[in-house]
Structure 1
Amino acid sequence: MSWIDIAAITDIPLRGARVVKTPLGCVGLFRTAEAEVFAASNTCPHKGGPLSEGIVHGQSVTCPLHNWVFDLNTGQAQGADTGQIQTYPVRLEGGRILLDGAAFAKRSAA
């Protein structure tokens, strides 16, 4: 893995999110705890809602448009909803958020 320094963890409010633009599209960075961040697709598969504008709770995010809830560990929709969002490797080092650059270099054929 080739890690890319994206931001300081303090750039994301606790139980909040920010968006990073990548070659694969917008990725949401979700801060769920003091020293815990997840990276996942910013787009809800249901109606395209911006997940970074949703509610971050526990290790999940709720879509702001229709309340679909996604587990940030797996990307899987919870409850009766079916669907999944892409999740990406992320780690913290010295208060900095690092994303796996190799995961964003891969492009699928359209």
Structure 2
Amino acid sequence: MNNLSKLLATKKSKLIPRIGRSVVLADQKIALFELSDGRVYAIEDYCPLTKGPVLEGIVSGEYLYEPMREYKISLIDGKIQEPDDGQVKTYPVEIVEDDIYIEV
């Protein structure tokens, strides 16, 4: 049984490509990132390795470089890239016109 809900997060027009935007949905801090090609990804705003937020990280391609130690995190599946190990939770994103919905 799927208990996930789609919640309105923000408007796509409010995003700045490659700059994170913070939202809180269902008591979860989520970082939204729009890539240069217009795709939007949502990940938990928390790095399991540094125990800090990832919102201020630098986006390059489909990866986010965590701001404290520059761990390389895939925005697609949340995996922290080698030689480091770990995973950040990702959230499904749906865009309807200008509205961004996130499944939480």
TM-score after normalising by structure 2: 0.87
Q: Is the contact between residue 20 and residue 31 of structure 2 (CA under 8 Å) also seen in structure 1?
A: yes
Is 2:61 the counterpart of 1:87?
A: no
1:12 offset after TM fit, Å?
A: 1.4
Number of aligned residue pairs? 101
- Give the residue type in structure 2 aligned to 1:40: I
Distance 1:99 1:25 in 2: 11
Paired-residue identity, %: 29
Distance 2:9 2:66 in 1: 24
Q: Which residue of 2 aligns with 1:108?
A: none
TM-score after normalising by structure 1: 0.83
Distance 2:78 2:10 in 1: 22
Q: Is the deviation greater in 68-77 or in 19-28?
A: 19-28
Q: Give the gaps of 5 or more residues in structure 2.
A: none
Q: Which residue of 1 aligns with 2:62?
A: 59
Distance 1:88 1:59 in 2: 15
Q: Which runs of 4+ in 1 moved over 6 A?
A: none
Q: Give the gaps of 5 or more residues in structure 1.
A: 104-110
